[in-house]
Amino acid sequence: MTIHVSRTLTEAAEVVADIERRSGERVSTCYQCGRCTSTCTGTFAFDYPPHRIMRMLQLGQVDEVLNSRTIQLCFDCMTCSTRCPMNIDVANVIENAKMVADEQGVKGSEKEIRFFRLAFLQNVRRSGRLHEARLLTSFNLLNFKPFNDISLVPVILRRKKVHIVPPKIKNRGEIHRIFQEVNGGGKTK
Amino acid sequence: MTSRRATDVKEVRAAVTVPDLAASATEHPGAYSYFPGCSLTSSAGEYDVSVRLVTAALGIKLDEIPDWNCCGASPAPHHWSGNLGVLLSARNLHIAGYHHDTMVAPCAGCYNRLKNAQYELAGSEELREQTARVLREPVRYEIEILNVVELFDREVTPEMLSERAGGRLAGLNLATYYGCLMTRPAKIMNFDNARNPVSMKPLLKATGADSGHFPFKSECCGSYMGMPKKEIVLRASRRIIEVADDMGFDAIVTACPLCHQNLDLRQDQINKTFGTSLEMPILYFSQVLGLALGMSADDLGIDSHVVSARKLLQKIEQRRERV
């Protein structure tokens, strides 16, 4: 087991408080019944199941949480939140932990998900709508795996499941302003 | 296998939509604002076509929201600022609210994002101000948002449908699959029961089909992980299809294009990866209603699914010949 000494206890408590403030949830109310974990669809892919993430936050082990695969890989299906007997929106806690990790520059191990989000948002920023074919191409290029999902291409083409010309909305200026607002408007929430 | 479509997608769209929206607001006082979303314009084109055909057949008027944009899907709300998802969806709410009091978003992902944005906007003055800054107008966000199940539930009673369907789908056993986004989080979606959703049942029953309890009806298919983390989606989706297969269902019925993509488009990948031989048709809720109303499978775009629904269609055909 690795021991992280990069943060003081006060700093760790501040990060937990930040996650609580953003999510509006109180991690201290979790009593570790494990119901979130028993209903979670994604545990097979995670390093820590959701109830352990909650416990680690209670104990101030924020480095482990922010660096975990769990917060990157959570499907956000919100089953855990539906089942929690304390009405904690666990998925929301995990999502906000991920945002804090992003903000602090923690890249995490799951680069594909980062690339996917980047490719997706670039795509929307450019034309206002998503062009699925272009999303796959730009994701594959970022990910250095040009032939990922290539087997789907003939299927998609044959069934006319794709636009050849990327869709574009008229008022792209407004979309541009939205992106400018969140990127240039300071870290307000 | 060649796919032949009797009705061209473009023809249906041109025939059913009303392009002049400024005029249509007064022409169709009872109409709904329609938000197709990006998937329905490409990979889920058949969902769009079937919704338009079935609503037209039932006398429901849909006006496509002019110049709508992407709702932000899952990547935008995960943006560190947290507001990107709200702002992108807010623009759509704003435009839709200009024309009608109620809007329909068939894609479960869009439905979820739009309702989330509405909830956030209602709760934060600061966010409303930020949105107004971008839109250069005070934001209109109070429009009522419906998914397709809600829409049909409101417009059609089971008795009406049953009369028109004449038991056309009798003998079929359909698994209702709701996924995550239509019902969760419960306090925001406020639709059906997040733990045990049942809203598709009354209308499906009215088609004559059976729809027994499907225990995986709100299990996650793996969501947007399909592209970045394929192996995870294949594993999550396999369980859902396998359970439906074991239980003897003829098809899985969904109202989400992303679920459809994971369960249908990737079913072949699942078979190749795990050595299974699953062949479970995945149908959209609107397509099932269309079949019940006697529309052809080709018109409803069922031929554009990757997993063939041949056996299921044969069952319907055989029954028709017997009657």
Could you please report the per-residue DSSP string of A148-184?
TTTTHHHHHHHTT-S-SSPP--S-HHHHHHHHHHHHH
Looking at the fold, whether B231 and B259 belong to one and the same domain comes out as yes
CA dist B68 and B60 (Å) reads: 21
Q: What percent of chain B has pLDDT over 70?
A: 91
CA dist B117 and B78 (Å) reads: 13
Q: Does position B284 have pLDDT exceeding 90, yes or no?
A: yes
Is B133 close to A131, i.e. CB distance below 8 A? no
Residue A28 CB contacts under 8 Å (≥ 6 apart), including other chains: A58
Looking at the fold, whether A30 and A55 belong to one and the same domain comes out as yes
Looking at the fold, whether B196 and B260 belong to one and the same domain comes out as yes
CA dist B41 and B51 (Å) reads: 12
Q: Which of B114, B148, B182 is the last residue of a domain?
A: B148
Q: Which of A86, A103, A120 is the last residue of a domain?
A: A103
Q: Which of A103, A127, A158 is the last residue of a domain?
A: A103
Is B202 contained in some domain? yes
Looking at the fold, whether B239 and B199 belong to one and the same domain comes out as yes
Looking at the fold, whether B226 and B118 belong to one and the same domain comes out as no
Is A1 contained in some domain? no
Looking at the fold, whether B173 and B313 belong to one and the same domain comes out as yes
Is A83 close to B265, i.e. CB distance below 8 A? no
* Residue-range definition of the domain harbouring residue B36: 9-148
Looking at the fold, whether A121 and A91 belong to one and the same domain comes out as no
Is A167 contained in some domain? yes
**Residue B160's pLDDT is what?**
96
Residue B185, preceding peptide bond in cis (omega within 30° of 0): yes
Is B1 contained in some domain? no
Is B220 close to A162, i.e. CB distance below 8 A? no
Backbone dihedral angles phi then psi of residue B218, each to the nearest 5 degrees: -120, 25
Q: Which of B250, B88, B256, B43 is nearest to A181 (CA)?
A: B88
**Residue B16's pLDDT is what?**
53
Of A169, A175, A182, Cβ closest to residue B81: A182
Looking at the fold, whether B139 and B183 belong to one and the same domain comes out as no
Using a CB-CB cut-off of 8 Å, the residues of chain B touching A38 are: none
- B217 pLDDT band, cuts 50/70/90, is very high
Cβ atoms of A114 and A143 closer than 8 Å: no
Cβ atoms of B18 and B28 closer than 8 Å: yes
Looking at the fold, whether B98 and B54 belong to one and the same domain comes out as yes
Looking at the fold, whether B23 and B114 belong to one and the same domain comes out as yes
Cβ atoms of B144 and B186 closer than 8 Å: no
Residue A14 CB contacts under 8 Å (≥ 6 apart), including other chains: none
CA dist A131 and A150 (Å) reads: 17
Cα torsion A75, A78, A81, A83: sign: negative
Is B138 contained in some domain? yes
* Residue-range definition of the domain harbouring residue A178: 111-184
- Least-confidence region, from A124-128, B70-74, B80-84: B80-84
Task: Name residues 52-81 of chain A within 8 A of B (Cβ).
Answer: 73, 75-79, 81
Looking at the fold, whether A81 and A132 belong to one and the same domain comes out as no
Cβ atoms of A51 and A37 closer than 8 Å: yes
Q: Which of B148, B183, B214 is the last residue of a domain?
A: B148
- The tokens for A170 are 């008229």
Q: B21-37 pLDDT, tens per residue?
A: 444 444 456 799 999 99
Looking at the fold, whether A156 and A179 belong to one and the same domain comes out as yes
pTM of the model: 0.91
Using a CB-CB cut-off of 8 Å, the residues of chain A touching B3 are: 158-159
Looking at the fold, whether A30 and A91 belong to one and the same domain comes out as yes
Looking at the fold, whether A15 and A38 belong to one and the same domain comes out as yes
- The CATH code of the domain that includes B193 is 3.40.50.11810
Looking at the fold, whether A40 and A69 belong to one and the same domain comes out as yes
Using a CB-CB cut-off of 8 Å, the residues of chain B touching A139 are: 227-228
Is B229 contained in some domain? yes
Is A58 contained in some domain? yes
- B13 pLDDT band, cuts 50/70/90, is low
Looking at the fold, whether A86 and A124 belong to one and the same domain comes out as no
Number of domains in chain B: 2
Q: What percent of chain B has pLDDT over 90?
A: 85
Q: At what angle do helices A50-58 and A90-103 cross, to 10 degrees?
A: 60
Q: Which residues of chain A have pLDDT under 70?
A: 1-6, 184-189
Is B153 contained in some domain? no
CA dist B234 and A67 (Å) reads: 25
ipTM of this complex:
0.90
Looking at the fold, whether A56 and A126 belong to one and the same domain comes out as no
Cβ atoms of A185 and B130 closer than 8 Å: yes
CA dist A114 and A73 (Å) reads: 11
Residue B45 CB contacts under 8 Å (≥ 6 apart), including other chains: A160, A161, B9, B301, B304
Residue A11 CB contacts under 8 Å (≥ 6 apart), including other chains: none
Number of domains in chain A: 2
* pLDDT average, residue stretch B290-306: 96
Looking at the fold, whether B175 and B104 belong to one and the same domain comes out as no
Is A189 contained in some domain? no
Looking at the fold, whether B144 and B196 belong to one and the same domain comes out as no
Looking at the fold, whether A77 and A18 belong to one and the same domain comes out as yes
Looking at the fold, whether A147 and A174 belong to one and the same domain comes out as yes
Looking at the fold, whether B258 and B138 belong to one and the same domain comes out as no
* pLDDT average, residue stretch B48-62: 96
Q: Does position B322 have pLDDT exceeding 90, yes or no?
A: no
Give the residue from A82, A138, A145, A151 with the most B CB atoms within 10 Å of its CB, the best one to mutate.
A82
Q: Which of A103, A120, A150 is the last residue of a domain?
A: A103
Q: Which of B285, B291, B265, B100 is nearest to B182 (CA)?
A: B285
Residue B250 CB contacts under 8 Å (≥ 6 apart), including other chains: B172, B173, B174, B281, B311, B312, B315
CA dist B84 and B116 (Å) reads: 12
**Residue B40's pLDDT is what?**
95
Is B194 close to A185, i.e. CB distance below 8 A? no
Using a CB-CB cut-off of 8 Å, the residues of chain B touching A79 are: 180, 184, 218-220
**Residue A112's pLDDT is what?**
92
Which residues share a beta bridge with B34? B64, B104
Looking at the fold, whether A69 and A143 belong to one and the same domain comes out as no
**Residue A166's pLDDT is what?**
78
Looking at the fold, whether B133 and B176 belong to one and the same domain comes out as no
**Residue B8's pLDDT is what?**
55
Distance of CA B91 to the CA centre of its chain: 21
Nearest CA in chain B to A180: B134
Q: Which of B108, B129, B148 is the last residue of a domain?
A: B148
CA dist B196 and B178 (Å) reads: 9
Nearest CA in chain A to B222: A75
